Structure 1
Amino acid sequence: MQLTRSSTIIAACEIARTVPVHAAVADLSRDLGKALTSDEEGAAVVLDEDLERSPKAYVIDVQADGVHIRAADELGFVYGLYAISRELLGIADLWFWMDQEIAARETLQIDPAFTLESRPSPIRLRGWFINDEVLFFGWAIDGDELGPWRMAFEALLRLGGNMVIPGTGQLDTSRYEEEADRRGLVVAQHHAEPLGAEMFSHAYPELRPSYDEHPDLFEKLWLEAIRARAGRRTMWSLGFRGQGDLPFWIDDPRYDTDEDRGALIGKILKLQYDLVQEHDPGAACAVNLYGETLELFRGGHLSLPDDVVKIWADNGYGRMVSRRQGSHNPRVPALPEGGERAGAHGIYYHASFYDLQAAYTLTMLPSPTEKVVSELESVIAHGMTDAWLINCSAVRPHTYTLDLIAALWREGAVDVAAHRGAFVRRHFGKDAAREVARLYGEYFATAVAYGAHWDEKAGEQLPNCVTRDLVTQFLREPEAPSSRVAWLMQHDSLAEQVRSFEEMCARAAADYATYRDAVDHVGAGLDTHPRRLLAQTLGLQSRILEHSYRGAAHAMRALAFAADGAHWDAFYEAGRARRAFLGGDTAMRGSEHGVWHGFYANDAQADLSHSAWLLESLMHTIRVVGDGPEYVDWQRVALYPPETRDIRLLMTVEKHLDNLALWEAMDAIQGE
């Protein structure tokens, strides 16, 4: 028996004719066309109903008339179809996101004894939060703006997921929700957007967002959201926060005690729960114990409805403790203990994070993989198995971490070395596996530690965001330290902050340069496809980090020189910082090819090009102070030979150079 590209997929039962199954059928048909070249008649793939199967389970075996998938529900068939693609055709779950080069053959001979039975997952609901998804904006796949979302949903299903938060509701996510519904995924909601409702300030921009003042308007928005999704696959998020990812009392400061804050949130949670159960009876509801909500709950100030899934969150860096808010970092444990274990529990965990401090959306979760696995295994041991939501942002930079977490939600435990070896063999080939696996390990070892805890490791936002904080402080109030970086370092003056951060970034830039060289060395010995893939994964991420830290170090030197009145040197160092940040942006844009053209165009979070713009602004200020008002002295030094630069029969014989042209002239005479 053989499969060919002409093999048909037969839906032999009603449940196999639904929209979610049809979408997976289309994907397998596409995969048959990618992996096989023969147009001969091939064995059919037959979808049979088997009501004795558990939900979402499947069995695949070979019978006289073809390869049969037996399942009792939609996702059972969906997972079975993708299992054929993976196990028989060799198409990886992350094939799109990891640029798999699919080696086609004429036909696929099927062993008559082949059988494959799914195993139950230890996690009931498991999915991704496509959050901070700015790289999806402006990027289209073959002109299809929904294409990135379709490929993300497919990858999630291939990995065994069944739930998604399809985007951040500040923007209209309705069409992404519709696509998630079409794929059979449970739709959940952002912890900052209860019930998926429109934000109050968006609906009523002229009104103060106070529940005490406008309870009817808040409740109207909640009820509209519930009615819009009632009867569809949904895990409703209950909650009450501010107009963004912040506590509600930022907008309503009258609530100035934990008791009052907890009482109001608890009252609203009960109201929201009752509304959901009235309009969508029996629907799952969840409460996110995130940030301030966790502190109120742990402090005994917040009561929850009995029948909800309590979603506990990591701190954004892989540790199950409360997240840092500004400089407030109590690290409240986020694992249920004792009597808290009653009821249903889940997690919101970050494979990508954005906090304008030290986080990572362009690069991988920097915390040690072994610690991440240990933390998630502890989550399972604490009974937090009802729902896992993983923040994945734009997927591609985080494929390794997402694959690792999916292995955990499928198996309940993972051997890090074995998983890493399998991951690199699958995507880079067996010949490259040993060296590439070593590089993945070294990536996490190279991460910058900004604190004493294992989870206090930094991504690309540290060199970009802290640099922007300190440069802005210098331009606004150079005599005072920046309060915005107090979470990172405690110093009494801006000069001390600048000195400390420069030392940190200079070491990091050197470490990442060494690591980048190691990646390039391994890549040079690989075949074309794995070499390009290595360059666009570890190679690109090391360059983003190296350029960012190098830019930060030069920026700090510019501030130090400027504070000392050495304006020429300050201007030059600011230009070097600008060039370094632009180098990171150039590396991202240069990595784009094929379907990835435009992927990094909307780097709106770390935004390396914005860091470069700020350094260009600093250059302007330094030049005004150090070279004005004539603006000819630096130009003469940069352009004229020593024997003529002090002769001033004419003040100048050239038009004034702009800042960038002047910097280029400086670099020509003193660049490295």
Structure 2
Amino acid sequence: MFLLSHATAIVAPTNLAKPVQYGLQMLVRDMEKVFGQKPQVNAGTSEWTIELRYASEEECSSLEEEAFRLHFQMGDGNSVMTIVGRDDLGLVYGMLHISKKYLEIDPFWFWAEIPVSRKEAVWIPAEEQESARPAVRYRGWFVNDEVCLIGWRKEYPPTEEIWFPVFETLLRCGGNMVIPGTDLPRSGIHHQLAHDMGLWVTHHHAEPLGAEMFLRAYPGVTPSYAQHPELFERLWREAIEKQKDEKIIWVLSFRGQGDAPFWSMDPVFDTPEKRGAMISKVVWRQYELIKEYVKHPVCCIALYGEISELYSGGYLDLPPDVIKVWADNGYGKMVSRRQGNENFRISSLPELSDSGKHGIYYHITFHDLQASNHFTMSPYSPQLMKQEIAAAFQAKANTYLLLNSGNIRQHLYTLDIVSEIWCFGTIDLEKQLCSYLRRFFSSHHQEMQELYERYFQSAIAYGKEEDEKAGEEFYHHPARKIISHWLTGKVDQTNEQLIWATGNVSFADQVRWYQQKCAAGSRRWSRLKKRGQEVMELLSEEDKIRFYDQFLFAIELHDTGCRGAVNLCQAYFAFKEEKYPLAFVHASQAHWDYREGLEALTRSEHGKWKNFYRLDVLTNIKSTVDNVDTLRRFIRMFGDSPDFFLWYKQYLMPETEKYIYLENTHRAVLEDDELARMLKKKFAADGKLPETGEAFK
């Protein structure tokens, strides 16, 4: 047995590469947490020594890229555990293997604030170990829609303080690839830090080769490759020259500015043949430029949106060694994504006869201004996730797996699932959930397992397909569209922006559909919230905080969102029947419900998480709260205006005062909240409203 303790010395080569320096920094910090004291590094050997070294030429023949081997040389008074790395990442993974398996440092320790168990020493079996070959060659995260990470601190773009935990966690999960953020200023540290930590860096499909957006570089110039090929190629060359010595997975693509089809700004390309020919021409030109600078480049192309359709139609000609990356629809199903009201659900997997290398881009978080999940766990089940990734692997799309990871903190459970799949090729979901809960919580694991399983059963099914489940954006984007349509006087017209969900029916039927869906969801989420609160009371104080942040927080966003949406719809129908005071009460209740969602964000901003939800501009709960506030003010114009005393007089003033009060002493205008609460109590007493915490029926 090899003894690991604070007295174990570490010997590393001089002039360590930056990725290994960062890996060593993590190992030293982990040992200090566990043993209470930092180990000595390059201060000489001791009775027990960890040695870091790169594999010899002979050893490289038996080690895969990014692999490591643990070798032991045991002796009296001088025992050595050697971490032999095939390359920089091999050494990094070797050190993190020690941290995870023997020091018991959880990959998500930072995001879930998992406590570290202090130990005097750890014994490691002195038996040679070698890392297993991962199921996926290139595997990592797209840190996308990362508004929480951006808004967490005042500095913009985010600093190393923000990005380091992201990349560290990815490495601890066995990942080796990242898109570090979405359209961030090039002055930021994100790209360089990812490279310095040993990760392969790849690009957003709207930013081919990682080049500057055309309209940023050339404002006012038409972004047409047909008209200005030399300007596009100048940007591409600049990007290639800057990154040619780094580990880059080059994204070849041609989309329009702002992540839209290029023909939206160049309408001459009005047929699939013309569009496919232009994309093929651009991709081949990008490929040729890269080959001028890089000997053996790794390239990929995202078959996303319209490019997938062109490829499936046979309109694209691509270089044969480019990895073709297929995407799910944002809801976990490997079919084409919904675009507005169009939802063709075309298979997004290669045919078995499709040659070359393939991979997938998969969402566990998404933002589509319709029904996606951003702050909450994916609403579709882990079983669907496992099924779809397995189908992709069966179709040989297993060279590359890019996972949309969002803001990390809210998606640890699903991140853990996919990290196990990309390492081992499959997963036992029940076993994984048991393990996950035991890592995060000290007790009551069976009760929590039942809650997690009920979470995915509680999600609103807005469509007939198994993946058509609603995340928390469903309670906000459609709600704001309903309010806008209502207040701009279009209630006699179908809301085109809701047809994707409701079908082409009248606006009143659209509101009724939305109300029914959210009412059914409210019943399930409120029951789950109640049970979750009961379980939370059984936990230790430390576990309570973690359980709230990792589970109950999401339930509250679903629960408050459902109730708010239902009361918004009730307000509409009361208004439609000219029951304006009742509509005002329902709108006020919706305002209070949605405001509870804001309070959930605040409760989860304790300690180091202060201001984590400051930049909520995607789900944008505050915007919904403000919209509903505007709505109830609007409703109050109908019957309580212009004096804003009439409803008080009609419904609340004692009968003995109604006809004899003096206006100069009884004209104080009640605030909306106060008036709404008084009217709610009055209507409930009269049997017009039930006294219940549920959404009003």
Q: TM-score range by the shorter chain?
A: over 0.9
Q: Distance in 2 between matches of 1:647 and 1:547?
A: 43
- Structure-2 change in CA distance of 1:205 and 1:568 (3 Å): farther
Q: CA deviation at 1:297?
A: 0.7
8 A Cα contact 2:451 2:532, kept in partner: yes
Would the alpha carbon gap of residues 173 and 441 (structure 1) be closer, same or farther in structure 2, given more than 3 Å must change? farther
Q: 1:560 aligns to what?
A: 573
Structure 1 residues 67 and 643: alpha-carbon distance in aligned structure 2, compared to 1, 3 A threshold = farther
Give the structure 1 partner of residue 33 of structure 2: 34
- For 1:305 and 1:10, locate their aligned partners in 2 and report how far apart those are by CA, in whole Å: 45
| 2:550 match | 537
**Cα displacement string for residues 500-524 of structure 1 (whole angstroms, at most 9, x for unaligned residues):** 1111111111210101111122222
Name the CA distance, whole Å, in 2 between partners of 1:243 and 1:522.
49
Residue identity opposite 1:104 in structure 2: R
Unaligned runs of 5+ in 1: none
Letter in 2 for 1:518: R
Q: For 1:404 and 1:380, locate their aligned partners in 2 and report how far apart those are by CA, in whole Å.
A: 16
Please identify, of 23-32 and 171-180, the stretch whose mean Cα deviation from structure 2 is larger: 171-180
AA matched with 1:28: L
1:111-510 aligned within 5 A: 111-140=124-153, 145-169=159-183, 171-172=185-186, 174-340=188-354, 342-429=355-442, 431-476=443-488, 477-510=490-523
Inter-partner Cα distance in structure 2 for 1:428 and 1:346 = 35
Aligned equivalent of 1:67, options 81, 85, 95? 81
Q: CA deviation at 1:404?
A: 0.4
Look up the SS of the partner of 1:471 in the other structure: helix
Specify whether residues 81 and 395 from structure 1 end up closer, same or farther in structure 2 by C-alpha distance, changes over 3 A only. same
In the aligned structure 1, how far is the partner of 2:269 from the partner of 2:122? 69
Counterpart for residue 23 of structure 2: 24
The structural deviation recorded for 1:648 is: 5.4
Task: Provide the rounded CA distance (Å) in 2 between the counterparts of 1:294 and 1:432.
Answer: 46
Moved more, 138-147 or 238-247: 138-147
Give the superposition deviation at 1:173.
6.8
Deviation at 1:582?
Answer: 1.2
Within 2, Cα distance between the matches of 1:98 and 1:628?
51
**Contact (CA 8 Å) 2:31, 2:37: kept in 1 or not?**
no
The separation in 1 between residues aligned to 2:673 and 2:416, in whole angstroms, is 44
> For 1:452-477, what per-residue CA distance to the aligned partner results, in whole angstroms no more than 9, with x for missing partners?
11111110011111111111111121
Determine the C-alpha separation between the residues in 1 that align with 2:292 and 2:472: 46
Distance in 2 separating the partners of 1:223 and 1:664 = 64
Post-superposition shift, 1:54? 2.1
> Which residue number corresponds to residue 48 of structure 1?
53
Partner of 2:438: helix, strand, or coil? helix
**How far apart, CA to CA, are the structure 2 residues paired with 1:116 and 1:642?**
87
Which is further off, 190-199 or 646-655?
A: 646-655
Return the offset for 1:372. 0.9
Distance 1:480 1:83, change over 3 A: same
Deviates more, 1:513-522 or 1:136-145: 136-145
What's the CA shift string for 1:119-162, capped at 9, x where partnerless?
00121110000000001012149998432211010010011110
Alpha-carbon separation, structure 2, partners of 1:150 and 1:187: 15
Query: Could you tell me how far apart the structure 2 residues matched to 1:253 and 1:260 are?
Result: 11
Contact 1:92 1:426 in 2 (8 A): yes
CA shift for structure 1 position 8: 3.4
1:447-500 Cα offsets, whole Å, 9 max, x none, are: 111111111111001111111111111112121111001110114311111111
**Paired amino acid for 1:593:** H
User: Are 2:629 and 1:628 equivalent residues in the alignment?
Assistant: no
- Seen in structure 2, the aligned counterparts of structure 1 residues 651 and 501 have a Cα distance that, compared at 3 Å, is farther
Deviations 1:60-89 (A, max 9, x none): 244333332112211111001111111111
* 8 Å Cα contact 1:632/1:652 also seen in 2: no
SS of the residue 2:480 aligns to: helix
Identify the residue that residue 5 of structure 1 maps to in structure 2.
Answer: 6
Instruction: Answer yes or no: is the 8 Å Cα contact 1:139–1:598 preserved in 2.
Output: yes
Shift of 1:592: 1.9
Is structure 2 residue 522 aligned with structure 1 residue 517? no
> Deviation string for 1:87-109 (max 9, x for gaps)?
1111111111122111212x213
Q: Does 1:85 align with 2:99?
A: yes
Q: Which amino acid aligns with 2:258?
A: G
Shift of 1:171: 4.1
Tell me whether 1:572 sits opposite 2:577 in the alignment: no
CA distance, structure 1, for counterparts of residue 162 and residue 38 of structure 2: 30
Q: Deviations over 1:622-641 (max 9, x none)?
A: 12233222322024356633
1:4–1:37 Cα contact (<8 Å) kept: no
Query: Of the candidates 111, 118, 140, which is equivalent to residue 104 of structure 1?
Result: 118
Q: Which residue type is aligned with residue 600 of structure 2?
A: A
Alignment check: 8 A CA contact 2:159 2:188 kept: no
User: 2:687 matched to which residue of 1?
Assistant: none
> What letter matches 2:337 in structure 1?
R
Is 1:583 aligned to 2:596, yes or no?
A: yes
**TM-score when scaled to structure 2?**
0.92
Q: Write the letter of the residue equivalent to 1:576.
A: Q
Could you tell me how far 1:652 is from its partner in structure 2?
6.5
Measured after TM superposition, the shift of residue 666 of structure 1 is: 3.5
Q: Distance in 1 between the 2:259 and 2:552 partners?
A: 33
Kept in 1: contact 2:29–2:38 (CA 8 A): no
Provide closer, same or farther for how the CA distance between residues 647 and 510 of structure 1 changes in structure 2, counting only shifts above 3 A: farther
The aligned residue for residue 57 of structure 1 is 67
Distance 1:166 1:621 in 2: 44
**Distance in 2 (alpha carbons) for counterparts of 1:296 and 1:647:** 77
- Aligned partner letter, 1:59: R
**What is the CA-CA distance between 1:165 and the residue it aligns to?**
0.2
CA contact (8 A) 1:544 1:587 kept: yes
Q: Deviations over 1:410-445 (max 9, x none)?
A: 00111111111111111113x322222221111111
- Pick closer, same or farther for the CA change 1:646–1:195 going to 2, 3 Å: farther
8 Å contact 1:4–1:39 — kept in the other structure?
no
2-side partners of 1:592 and 1:42: how far apart? Answer: 46
Letter in 2 for 1:37: G
How far did 1:24 drift? 0.9
Give the 3 Å change call, closer, same or farther, for CA 645–6 of structure 1 in structure 2.
farther
Q: Distance in 2 between matches of 1:399 and 1:646?
A: 63
1:169/1:198 contact within 8 Å kept: no
Superimposed CA distance per residue, residues 527-584 of structure 1 (whole angstroms, 9 cap, x where no aligned partner): 2222221121111100011111111111111122222222211121111111111101
Structure 2 residue ranges without an equivalent (≥5): 40-45, 685-690, 692-697
Asked if 1 retains the 8 angstrom alpha-carbon contact of 2:420 and 2:427, the reply is yes
- Residues 155, 506 of structure 1: alpha-carbon distance in 2 compared, 3 angstrom cutoff: same
Q: Which residue of 1 aligns with 2:688?
A: none
Q: List per-residue Cα deviations over 1:388-411 (Å, max 9, x = no partner).
A: 110001011111111100100100
Q: Distance in 2 between matches of 1:412 and 1:337?
A: 20
What is the identity, as a one-letter code, of the residue corresponding to 1:465? H
Distance (Å, rounded) in 1 between the aligned partners of 2:47 and 2:555: 46
